[in-house]
């Protein structure tokens, strides 16, 4: 499949992100709305927004997946990966890994030295946690019962060389 990568958000991405994040079945309506709000903030803030994006599109321009990332305020070289999502029809095709690798390169070019990713401890997220580990992220912290009783926050980190 012929893929293209784009590093800025456009208005149609709001619908594409809603579709992708909804289709995964992982996120609550509030979380889906938050993902879309970040795209809106990225568009509204333009180059001054701390929310940065990388979109993966097919040759027709359809968005297959994306990342949202940005610098952690009041730190030197720390970045958060807020979102990485690939439409379920395209999961397992290497798009997620390619998005993550390209995002890491963008962060490195911005002076990033560390990337932090937060995820949930529920069984639903086990494949997500395995993906992060395969991509070189290590578990840094666990905040017990953070999201709800029995659903802890797990924080992963990768040090960029």
Looking up residue 105, the CATH number of its domain turns out to be 3.40.630.30
Structure tokens at 137: 């992220």
**Helices then strands, each counted (H, E), the chain:** 4, 7
Q: What is the average per-residue pLDDT within 38-50? A: 84
* pTM of the complete model: 0.94
Question: What is the total count of domains within the chain?
Answer: 1
Please check whether residue 140 lies inside any domain of the structure.
no
What is the per-residue pLDDT across 136-149, written as a single tens digit (0 to 9) for each?
999 999 999 999 99
Q: Quick check: 39 pLDDT over 80?
A: yes
Domain encompassing residue 36: 3-118
Per-residue burial over 3-23, b = 16 or more CB atoms within 10 Å of its CB, e = otherwise: beeeeebeeebbebbeebbbe
Q: Has residue 49 been placed in a domain? A: yes
Pairing of strands 114-120, 78-86: parallel
Instruction: Specify whether the CB–CB gap between 85 and 36 falls below 8 A.
Output: no
**Average of per-residue pLDDT across 10-24:** 97
For residue 91, the model assigns a pLDDT of 95
């Amino acid at each position: 499949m012929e893929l293209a990568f784009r590093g800025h958000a456009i208005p149609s991405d709001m619908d594409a992100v809603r579709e992708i994040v909804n289709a995964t079945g992982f996120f609550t309506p509030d979380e889906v709305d938050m993902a879309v709000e970040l795209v809106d903030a990225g568009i509204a803030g333009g180059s001054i927004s701390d929310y940065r994006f990388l979109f993966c599109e097919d040759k027709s321009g359809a968005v297959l997946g994306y990342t949202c990332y940005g610098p952690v305020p009041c730190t030197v070289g720390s970045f958060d990966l807020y979102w990485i999502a690939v439409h379920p029809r395209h999961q397992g095709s290497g798009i997620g890994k390619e998005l993550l690798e390209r995002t890491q390169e963008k962060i490195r070019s911005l002076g990033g030295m560390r990337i932090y990713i937060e995820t949930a401890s529920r069984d639903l997220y086990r494949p997500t946690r395995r993906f992060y580990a395969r991509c070189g992220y290590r578990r840094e912290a666990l905040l017990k019962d953070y999201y709800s009783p029995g659903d802890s926050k797990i924080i992963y980190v990768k040090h960029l060389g």
